[in-house]
Amino acid sequence: MSPEILRQPAEVAYAAELAALRRDDDEPRPVGWALSPKRVLTYLLGGKASDGTTVVPKYVGNRRLLETAVATLATDRALLLLGVPGTAKSWVSEHLAAAITDDSTMMVQCTAGTDENQIRYGWNYAQLLAHGPSQDALVPTPLFRAMQQGRLCRLEELTRMGSDVQDTLITVLSEKTLPIPELDTAVYAARGFNVIATANNRDKGVNELSSALKRRFNVVVLPVPDSFEEEVSIVSRRVAETAVGLDLPVPKNVDDEIRRVLVVFRELRSGATADGRATLKTPSGSLSTAEAIATMIGGLSHAAWFADGRLSADGLAQTMVGAIVKDPVQDKEVLSEYLETVVKKRKDYAAYYAALNDAL
Amino acid sequence: MISYFGVRHHGPGSTASLVAALDQLRPSVVLVEGPSDATGLLPLLADRAMRPPVALLGYAADDPRRAAFWPFAEFSPEYQAVRWALRNDVPVELIDLPVLAQLDDAAPAEAETEDGTAGPGEPDRPGSQPDDRRDPISALAAAAGYEDPESWWNDLIEQNPAPGPIFAAVGNAMAEYRNHTTTDEHDLRREAHMRRAIAQAAKNADGPVAVVCGALHVPALAAKHTAAADRALLTGLPRRSASITWAPWTNARLAYASGYGAGVSAPGWNQHLWQTRGRADVATRWLARIAAELRQAEHLVSTASLIEAERLAVALAALRDRPQPGFEELREAAVSCLFGGDPVLWNLVADRLLVGTQVGTIPEGVPLAPLIDDLQRQQRLTRLRPEALPRELALDLRTDSGAARSVLLHRLRILGVGWGQLTDAGRSRGTFRERWVLAWDPTFAIDLVDKLVYGSTVEQAAAGLLAEQLGEATTLGALATGCEQAMTAGLPTAVSVALRLLADKAALSSDAADMLGAIPPLVDVLRYGQARRTDAQALGSLVEHLVVEASLSLHYAARPADADASDVLVGLVVGVDRAIRLLDEAVSAGLATVWDTGLAAVVGDDQTSPKVAGCAAQLRYASGALAAADVVLLVQRRLSPGTRAVVAAAFLEGFFTQAAERLIYDADLRDAVSQWLTDLDEDEFVAALPLLRRVFADLGASDRTRLLAAALGAGARRAVGVRLAGDGGAGWERQLAVVARLLTAPTGGADRG
């Protein structure tokens, strides 16, 4: 693919790592897998390939959870990644697909407007009208193609689409077939086919999974990063990667600023100061790790284009306020209370106190 | 020939290999790590009624607080080794230092240096903390590239379906480990003692000798030491002998989390491994148990999900290079397939599964510490099974079984054994229901042994202990409470002691407050008591005596100077009055008259505290001794213009203590009060305001509204028309001045608001 592409799929961006891991992979692997399950784990959690290539960690957190996810896909059970927004569900799903089948592009983004035609198959109406129902008139969906080719299909935000549409997956997941009654035939999934779905377990407008469907998934809940250091390392890594992708220079002080921003995010998220001495009101937004990353990228962009490469509280404040204040009345109060009671007293946050107050 | 079997305490895999090895070796004597003076108790393990987990309880006869347990679970290698020996008629001996020597050694170093291989051979001392300074299993596991030492041992030994000559291998590994670490004095002495015992046994034996001990000790036991060196190490051992007995143990106490250093992380899982040893469906059965627990907690789990969970567990084990799914894999698979990824649900069942609620049983006739023995008998009689995890129990005291259980639990409470905790606060005898939360902790055995001096049955000991406490009691109130306690716990001898002491003390006491405090608990005993007839009579006359004495001295007692004392007295008077009114007509008729005389004296005496007087007047009014007209008269007199407003208000407060509703219903009374209030000039009103406010603080919001409506009569509606002044204006200045005066006004000691 050409370098003009804004964001390369994982298997392209990390092609060198995947190739290095694949080179002498003599462990047994399930049918259709490009890597053995253990190498998949190495790819996700980081390590070294046998030829010395460094594999950067794609997920920082509980190893056991990822082991469960990989082991699930190694059986023929579908995997459901659950979590609050910004816990790297889609990120993990993309990298799982990239590592296992070397193809993370078979993806359906589920929305409230997704209908059965986008899940099962659609029709090319010109063909249909001209020649009647036939294989040629069929428009395959990513799921359809994944079944034919024995690949992984990703369903993003599964619970955003309607329950009736969700339930079309039941046959696919239990019988591994997709009937096409119009042609009196069916697609039988090739070995290696499986589904990775992601879903939000705390969001408005979510259609609860039916228990029939839920039973067909093994569920892995991705938690919010536990420790401060863990979250710092996640944000630093993603910020560095994204900055490279966007050709943004990374100033020296970025790590310090990440720490400060994360302290603010974590304190507001947990409703208590880091030392546990004071309780705080929590804003209505989820203040996820993903939002912290976006805030930092926004700050870097501001620094690169408008501040001669200097990353400062001024550049970050506007985006921070945007992330924290989701409800214009309530959250504003929460934030100004936090600023006055906590931030004001901290000497090293003086710049943030001023900048955030300005932005408010 | 001596064979050493280095085992992991409480490791079911070691146990299975050990039994197989013993079957093959057919030793002529089996030596087991454990206090040597307890050898005589081992044959009891063969008793059918002896169900593990049980523990050897050793304690210094002169100081039962110095005690330690040596637990045996069904899956402990030591237990199975002893059982093997008993089954095959082979002599079996414990070879470690005797109990007291172990207690003495460990006393200076508070923390027990436990290691991963320590176990039933290692004592569990109440209060000792596990110490991971020296953990050979961790070191070896790390060398093998394992993060979790449990998994390493599990894979290599516990769950290795085809173990090679593992005991030799473990011995070698430990020898290597010990070359790189130091062993403390205590362990050196223990090993010296074991070596000597082994040498002795080997000399007498005419066949192979089997030594079963913690893996860590194997190299030291097998090594050559001169007898003289060992003797030197063992000089100065205590010559006294310890008392040793069996005590029931719990799985919960076998867990690391309980603070037992030689424990295992999941005794429930170990038990499961032992029970399913040699079977191919270990994982399946474990998942089925998880499902059963979940279903019990009313979560629907389908069989299909169980199948999926097992497949996932197997895949996970393969991914982690483990030969079979361990409990971590099964847990993660269960969380993913059965619990919808929600680990909270797992916590719901984890305790019951991983720890288990089992409590061991000791057969009848085993020479237990007498109190433990008696408790077991009582438990059988009342059908109260000790369980490790907390369980709620509701008792109906009207039934025989409910009463018997309640008595047992109350007796144990007196003994300081907190098996049952009463959940509903307040009087236990005011109702026929009692709610308890039961949770058995094996350390209760120590509490029981500790109380042996008081008697050899639960009943005797409780009575003895209570009698001792009663002897030390200084107030009538404490004695009366003790008497009530004795009665609830069904301890007639203690009741008699309490009554005798009460009678003695009451005869000498002239402190009315003390006497008043003693009356309500005693009346409770009288009302609900099943005390023996003689006791009932004695109690009746005692109550009578107390009431008479208290009544006579009441109006002297009611002349205290400070407000706090009168508050206390008001509380006591109200309590006694209620108690007397609750008594049977036959008993109380005479008492009520006497009591009323006492109250009348308080009311009639102008020197008594106005608050107590008010209270007494109200009580007389309530009992009908004072007619409505008289009350109004009395209130008017007490509130007459000559009386200082503060004194009048104190009277009012006393009068309306817990009886402010009276004002709502009693128009005459209300008029009298209202008259007084409206006649007060402003300064007096302000001075009395805090007291008045306190009178009405007891009233709920709706009662206040009703009182207001009653006081204003039809005019209550007028309030609707009242409007707030827009600016407050001059009125506000006036109010401010009043508030300022209120805050600074000297209102005497009565104002604490």
Q: Give the pLDDT of residue B599.
A: 85
Please report which confidence band the pLDDT of residue A205 belongs to, taking 50, 70 and 90 as the band edges: low
> CA–CA separation, A155 vs A106, rounded Å?
9
DSSP H helical segments within B489-562, as ranges? Answer: 492-508, 512-528, 533-557
The pLDDT-based confidence of A121 (bands split at 50, 70, 90) is: very high
pLDDT above 90 (res B417): no
CA B11 – CA B120 distance, rounded (Å): 11
Report pLDDT digits (tens) over A274-303. 777 777 788 887 788 888 888 898 888 888
- Residue B584, pLDDT > 70, answer no
Among B173, B229, B175, B240, which Cα is nearest to B199's?
Answer: B229
Predicted complex ipTM exceeds 0.85: no
Q: Which of residues 300-329 of B touch A (CB under 8 A)?
A: 302, 304-305, 308, 311-312, 315-316, 318-320, 328
Is residue B100 over pLDDT 90?
no
* Model pLDDT, residue A1: 46
Cβ atoms of residues B351 and B29 within 8 Å: no
Say how far apart CA B281 and CA B298 lie, in whole Å.
25
Q: How far is B339 from chain A (nearest CA, A)?
A: 8
Confidence of residue B129 (pLDDT cuts 50, 70, 90): very low
- Do B94 and B42 meet the contact criterion of CB atoms below 8 Å apart? yes
Residue type, A230: E
Place of tokens 């025989």: B400
What's the DSSP call for residue A202?
S
Q: What is the pLDDT of residue B426?
A: 45
pLDDT of residue A184: 92
More confident residue, A210 or B699: A210
* Whether A68 and B340 lie within 8 Å, measured CB to CB: no
Radius of gyration of chain B measured on its C-alpha atoms: 37
- pLDDT per residue as tens digits for the range A75-114: 888 999 988 877 888 889 999 999 999 999 999 999 989 9
A83 and B CB contact within 8 Å:
no
Is the pLDDT higher at B512 or at A265? A265
Specify the higher pLDDT residue, A205 or A53: A53
B708 interfaces chain A, CB cutoff of 8 Å = no
Residue A82 with chain B: CB contacts under 8 Å: 340-341
Question: Residues 553 to 582 of B: which have CB under 8 A from any A CB?
Answer: none
Position A70 scores a pLDDT of 93
Predicted pLDDT at B128: 41
Average pLDDT, stretch A234-250?
83
- Residues of chain B with pLDDT > 70: what percent? 83
Q: Is the pLDDT of residue B723 over 60?
A: no
- Is a pLDDT exceeding 50 seen at residue B286? yes
Q: A296 near A262, Cβ under 8 Å?
A: no
On the question of a cis peptide bond just before residue B53, with omega within 30 degrees of 0, the verdict is: yes
The reply to whether residue B340 touches residue A214, judged by beta carbons under 8 angstroms, is yes
- Calculate ∠ Cα A130-A134-A136, nearest 5°: 85
Q: Say which residue the tokens 């093998």 belong to.
A: B144
Residue B78 CA to its chain's centroid (Å): 32
Residue A183 forms contact with B (CB below 8 Å) = no
Q: For residue B255, give how far its alpha carbon lies from the nearest alpha carbon of chain A (Å).
A: 23
Contact B316 A67 (CB under 8 A): yes
Residue A178 has pLDDT above 80, yes or no: yes
- Strands A47-48, A107-109: pairing is unpaired
Q: What pLDDT was estimated at residue B457?
A: 78
Closest CA to B128 of B174, B191, B186: B186
- Which residues of chain A neighbour B302 with C-beta distances below 8 Å? 215
| Banded pLDDT at B688 (limits 50, 70, 90) | confident
pLDDT of res. B716:
45
- C-alpha B498/C-alpha B487 separation (Å) is 10
In angstroms, the CA A127 to CA A108 distance is: 24
- Give the 3-state secondary structure of residue B389: coil
pLDDT band at B84 (very low <50, low <70, confident <90, very high): very high
CB spacing of A74 vs B319 below 8 angstroms: yes
Provide, as residue numbers in chain A, all residues whose Cβ is less than 8 Å from the Cβ of B341. Answer: 80, 82, 219-221
Query: How many inter-chain contacts (A to B, CB under 8 Å) are there?
Result: 59
Question: Torsion over CA of A330, A335, A341 and A346, rounded to 10 degrees?
Answer: 170
Write out pLDDT tens, residues B4-15. 888 877 777 778
Q: Does A145 touch chain B (CB under 8 A)?
A: no
Distance CA B141, CA B161 (A): 19
Does B319 contact A37 at a Cβ distance shorter than 8 Å? yes
Considering only CB atoms, which chain B residues are within 8 Å of A41? 319
Nearest CA distance, A67 vs chain B (angstrom): 7
The separation between CA B475 and the C-alpha centre of its own chain, rounded to angstroms, equals: 27
User: How many CB atoms are located within 10 Å of the residue B752 CB?
Assistant: 10
pLDDT at B243: 79
In this structure, which amino acid lies at residue B317? A
> CA nearest B231: which of B208, B252, B200?
B200
Per cent of chain A over pLDDT 90 is: 33
Give, in order, the Cα–Cα distances in Å from A79 to each of B311, B328, B338, B665.
14, 19, 13, 72
Lowest pLDDT segment from A21-25, A78-82, A172-176, A271-275: A271-275
**Most confident segment among A4-13, A102-111, B247-256, B629-638:** A102-111
Whether B702 has a pLDDT exceeding 60, the answer reads yes
Q: Model's pTM, two decimal places?
A: 0.64
* Mean pLDDT value across residues B635-647: 73
Report CB contact under 8 Å: A77, B320: no
A interface test, pick of B299, B336, B338, B345 with most A CB neighbours within 10 Å: B336
Q: How far apart are CA A144 and CA A162, in angstroms?
A: 19
User: Is pLDDT at A144 greater than 80 in this prediction?
Assistant: yes
Instruction: Say yes or no to pLDDT of B349 above 50.
Output: yes
Average pLDDT score over residue span B502-507:
78
Average pLDDT over residues A192-209: 83
Who contacts B654 (Cβ-Cβ below 8 Å, separation ≥6)?
B566, B570, B609, B610, B611, B612, B613, B614, B615, B616, B617, B618
How far apart CA B483 and CA B495 sit, in angstroms, is 5
At B214, the pLDDT band (50, 70, 90 cuts) reads confident
B549 touches chain A (CB under 8 A): no
pLDDT of residue A203: 66
Contacts of A37 in chain B (CB under 8 A): 315, 318-319
pLDDT of residue B623: 80
Q: What is the mean pLDDT of residues B367-379?
A: 75
Averaged pLDDT score across all residues of chain B: 77
Spatial contact of A7 and A245, defined as CB atoms under 8 Å apart: yes
Of A37, A75, A215, the CB nearest to B312: A75
The partner residue sitting opposite A70, judged by closest CB among B302, B319, B335, is: B319
8 Å CB contact of A72 and B315 = yes
Q: How far is A42 from chain B (nearest CA, A)?
A: 12
B315 with A75: Cβ contact below 8 A: yes
CA angle A124, A128, A131 (to 5 degrees): 135
What does the pLDDT read at residue B586? 60
Q: Between A346 and B110, where is the model more confident?
A: A346
pLDDT at A79: 94
Which amino acid belongs to residue B545?
H
Contact A166, A213 (CB under 8 A): yes
Say if residues B141 and B149 touch (Cβ distance below 8 Å). yes
**Inter-chain CB proximity B319 and A220 less than 8 Å:** no
Comparing alpha-carbon positions, the chain B residue that sits nearest to A211 is B340
> For chain B, what's the residue count?
753
A37 touching B (Cβ < 8 Å): yes
